[in-house]
Amino acid sequence: MRVLHLTNKPIYPLLDGGCIAMNQIAKLLEANKFELKNLTFETEKHPFSLDSFPIDFRSDFAPEAVLINAKVSIFGALKSILKNESYNLARFKSHQFASRLKELLLQKEYDFVICESIYMLVYLDVIRKVSKAKIIVRTHNVEYNLWERLASHARFPKSTYLNYLSKKLKSEEIPLLQKCDAIMNISEQDEKIFKSLSVVTKMITIPVFIDEPTQKSDYSSSKFHHIGTMNWQPNIEAVEELLTTIFPKIKSKIPDAELHLAGSFFPQNLISNPEKGIFVHGFVADKFDFISKHGIQLIPLKSGSGVRIKILESMSIGAPIVTTAIGAEGIEITNSKELFIAENNEDFIKKALKLNKNDDLRQEMGRNAQKLIREKYNFEKVNKQFIEFFKTIS
């Protein structure tokens, strides 16, 4: 069967959870002998370079990109308000992309078009006009919910505008999902939300799978760390919370405490300050090596949606983790045996200190986390769900 895979940014390099999730769909398709083609956006924020793709991906998926201008602008925002449309979605509409998409659909008959995220569904009508392919959307988040949560932590007047964006996005997101042939959610939490909003499109939860890592967390390390891409607002908020509130209070209790920060797109003004115990690594080539060497992972997320893949990856090597309910959303944990969920900053600090003082607890939590990943997020289990789902929509 032939599949056209539409992605809202280049899959490679694997810079963030979104890229990893899209790459996993590609791996599942390849494992099941689908004939594949990848068409993606290229933006200023996410440039396309064929050299960044593995050689086998280039040959099997023939990836190509169309450059679009998705940059946020006041003019674009005002235009969307006047046209009464979602600016979040309007930013990804491109005549050039629509034209190339139409060409591909006319050149070859596809059985399925898989759209990665709601943002690719702005081309749903283009697909319907020239193709009989079944349209499947892979939802990485409940997008309007993400913006709703960002608004709840923003200050006026920004909060007012973010609330407006969330409502407009919701008014278009739900109808677009209704027009698809099938939905592959990344978490059961997202599936429940869509069903509660009367989305009747056939859907299933296909979680991410986590490959067996070669590294293992070093439980002798009582350092603290955070890793995340710093061009995503929830991660920016989390790092700010760590630097301004959480870590200074930890440091007051543990004078020699260290906080190590890593991830792509770190702002230039955020630099190491050894006197305050802050060490900024920026992009790290081996994220598992960084996580394994730097002790306890702190993830004070207050916004976001979907599943935090970086948490699942960290659990796979047995990293002891403290996060929030939003950070742990969509992960099937058992009574905080696999990670700690904090109710507020005070509780977050308390649990971070508890792990810092007890290496046996760090090791026990790490083993429980690894057991969960092996049982619930292995390739064989996810692939079985994937195959069965495609049988029902073929």
CB neighbours of residue 106 within 10 Å: 10
Q: Which CATH class is domain 2-209+378-393?
A: alpha beta
Between CA 161 and CA 146 the distance in angstroms is 14
Output Rg (C-alpha) for the chain, integer angstroms. Answer: 21
Q: Is the pLDDT of residue 164 over 80?
A: yes
The closest alpha carbon to 313, from 187, 234, 215, 225, belongs to: 215
Is 315 or 336 the better-scoring residue by pLDDT? 315
The mean pLDDT of the chain is 95
What pLDDT sits at residue 385?
95
- Taking the C-alpha atoms of 334, 352, 20 and 29 in order, what is their torsion angle to the nearest 10 degrees? -10
Over residues 306-321, the mean pLDDT reads 94
Between CA 9 and CA 390 the distance in angstroms is 24
What pLDDT sits at residue 349?
98
Q: Report domain extents, the chain.
A: 2-209+378-393, 224-376
Over residues 115-133, the mean pLDDT reads 97
Q: Are 190 and 212 in contact (CB under 8 A)?
A: no
Q: Is the pLDDT of residue 335 over 80?
A: no
Superfamily of domain 224-376: Glycogen Phosphorylase B; (3.40.50.2000)
- Reduced to 3 states (helix: H, G, I; strand: E, B; else coil), residue 120 is helix
List, for residues 196-237, the tens digit of each pLDDT value: 999 999 999 999 999 888 889 999 999 999 999 998 899 999
Longest dimension (CA), the chain: 65
State the number of CA atoms in the 13 A half-sphere of 54 facing the CB: 9
Instruction: Provide the percentage of residues in the chain whose pLDDT is more than 90.
Output: 91
Angle at 112 between CA 109 and CA 113, to 5 degrees: 100
What pLDDT sits at residue 259?
98
Instruction: Provide the percentage of residues in the chain whose pLDDT is more than 70.
Output: 100
Enumerate the H helices of 62-218 as residue ranges: 74-83, 87-90, 95-107, 124-130, 143-152, 158-179, 188-196
Query: 3-class secondary structure for 94-105?
Result: CHHHHHHHHHHH
Torsion sign (Cα): 228, 230, 235, 237: positive
Residues 250-258: contacts with CB within 8 Å, 24+ apart? 250/224, 250/349, 250/352, 250/353, 250/356, 251/276, 251/277, 253/349, 253/353, 254/353, 254/356, 257/223, 257/224, 257/356, 258/223, 258/224
The closest alpha carbon to 42, from 124, 100, 111, belongs to: 100
Reported as a pLDDT band with limits 50, 70 and 90, residue 153 is confident
The closest alpha carbon to 332, from 290, 280, 368, 294, belongs to: 368
This prediction has a pTM of: 0.92
What pLDDT sits at residue 394?
78
- Reduced to 3 states (helix: H, G, I; strand: E, B; else coil), residue 130 is helix
224-376: same fold as 2-209+378-393? yes
Q: Could you tell me what percentage of the chain is helix, strand and coil, using 3-state DSSP and rounding each to the nearest 5?
A: 50, 15, 35
